[in-house]
């Protein structure tokens, strides 16, 4: 896809908005958007991100999700010290290309996944990430819950339990619609949450959650300093415990991270059950991604089998531990 975009002409996309590009370089770590480093003729470096085509195959919260990034970046730059890029342009007019696009200033550093760090420096990165997420969760809070961005994938909810019940149902419907769950399986998975809803019905602040912190979305320098946190398009407002489950899934939830976060997580039996559902929420998205975007049905069915095993453990009272291992 990236090569096709290059041949179709990326230059006019920038020139139409007053940017004069000299050189393009594909960003290999981008998994969802087509992304490029662009050097301008005045020496500035920017990032061009182009959303996937509308028929690429999406989860319910991924459709047009780039639309929420400009507002989130403004909020984060105004309210926190988290290193987030300035968004220079967001264009959803689709005048020159039938996709949304975004241009932002390039942050220093490289993706953590592309940098070889000594263990002590890797720990330093995770500790900083922990501090940044603690600041995010403490500073950016709302009165509503769910995916609240301009892409409007769901109605805002007045409570977290209402939001998560809706999110769970919409995710299961996505999996049914792509053919991975049949009608009976979808009904069973949807209803698996019902007996446990009382555990989610509690007072929790609606915190801004990144929901995609992993090594490719953490920019670092060679000394182990975090220079950027990127890819905020999956952001959600809600219970911090669901963010923790994503961190577990992505291998970020290490002792160094928790030193930086500076607050212990709830390890009660109720929290372990919530965690199992949050972990499953993250896990099940890959059924849709592998089925529709990667076109790897066997991989999608392997994720499905894993999810159903975890649900079976829940149904028999054997909730996973706080890291969600099967």
Q: Residue 316: what pLDDT?
A: 79
Q: Residue 319: what pLDDT?
A: 63
**Is residue 324's pLDDT more than 80?**
no
**Is residue 214's pLDDT more than 80?**
yes
| 243-287 pLDDT, tens digit each | 999 999 999 999 999 999 999 999 999 999 999 999 999 999 999
Provide φ and ψ at 28, rounded to 5°: -70, -20
| 131-186 pLDDT, tens digit each | 999 999 999 999 999 999 999 999 999 999 999 999 999 999 999 999 999 999 99
Query: Which tokens belong to 286?
Result: 């890959």
Q: Residue 318: what pLDDT?
A: 65
Q: Residue 258: what pLDDT?
A: 98
**Is residue 240's pLDDT more than 50?**
yes
Q: Residue 32: what pLDDT?
A: 87
For 306, residues 6+ apart whose C-beta sits below 8 A from its C-beta are: 283, 326
Q: Residue 322: what pLDDT?
A: 37
CA–CA gap between residue 303 and residue 46 (Å, rounded): 36
CA–CA gap between residue 195 and residue 313 (Å, rounded): 14
| 5-63 pLDDT, tens digit each | 554 589 999 999 999 999 999 998 777 899 999 999 999 999 999 999 999 999 999 99
Q: Residue 118: what pLDDT?
A: 95
Mean local confidence (pLDDT), 211-224: 96
More confident: 279 or 323 = 279
Domains and CATH numbers, the chain: 2-107 (3.30.200.20), 111-315 (3.90.1200.10)
Quick one: which of 281, 290, 287, 288 has its CA closest to 236? 281
Query: Is this model's pTM higher than 0.85 or not?
Result: yes
């Amino acid at each position: 896809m990236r090569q096709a975009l290059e041949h179709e002409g990326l230059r006019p996309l920038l020139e139409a908005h007053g940017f004069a590009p000299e050189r393009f370089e594909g960003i290999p770590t981008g998994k969802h958007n087509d992304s490029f480093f662009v050097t301008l003729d005045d020496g500035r470096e920017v990032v061009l991100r182009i959303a996937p085509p509308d028929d690429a195959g999406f989860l319910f919260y991924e459709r047009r999700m780039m639309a929420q990034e400009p507002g989130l970046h403004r909020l984060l730059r105004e309210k926190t010290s988290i290193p987030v890029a300035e968004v220079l342009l967001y264009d959803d007019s689709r005048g020159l290309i039938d996709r949304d696009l975004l241009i932002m200033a390039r942050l220093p550093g490289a993706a953590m996944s592309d940098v070889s760090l000594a263990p002590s420096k890797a720990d330093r990165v995770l500790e900083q990430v922990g501090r940044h997420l603690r600041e995010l969760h403490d500073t950016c809070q709302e009165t509503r819950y769910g995916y609240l961005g301009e892409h409007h994938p769901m109605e805002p909810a007045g409570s977290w339990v209402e939001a998560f019940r809706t999110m769970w149902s919409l995710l299961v419907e996505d999996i049914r619609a792509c053919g991975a769950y049949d009608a009976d399986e979808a009904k069973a998975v949807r209803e698996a949450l019902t007996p446990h809803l009382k555990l989610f019905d509690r007072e929790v602040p609606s915190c801004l959650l990144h929901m995609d912190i992993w090594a490719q979305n953490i920019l670092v320098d060679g000394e182990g300093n975090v220079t950027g946190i990127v890819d905020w398009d999956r952001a959600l407002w809600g219970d911090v415990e669901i963010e923790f489950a994503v961190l577990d899934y992505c291998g970020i939830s290490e002792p160094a991270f928790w030193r930086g976060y500076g607050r212990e997580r709830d390890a009660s039996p109720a929290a372990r059950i919530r965690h199992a559902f949050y972990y499953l929420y993250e896990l099940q998205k890959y059924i849709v991604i592998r089925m529709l975007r990667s076109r790897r049905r066997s991989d999608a069915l392997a994720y499905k089998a894993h999810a159903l095993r975890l649900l079976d453990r829940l149904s028999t009272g054997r909730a996973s531990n706080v890291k969600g291992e099967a």
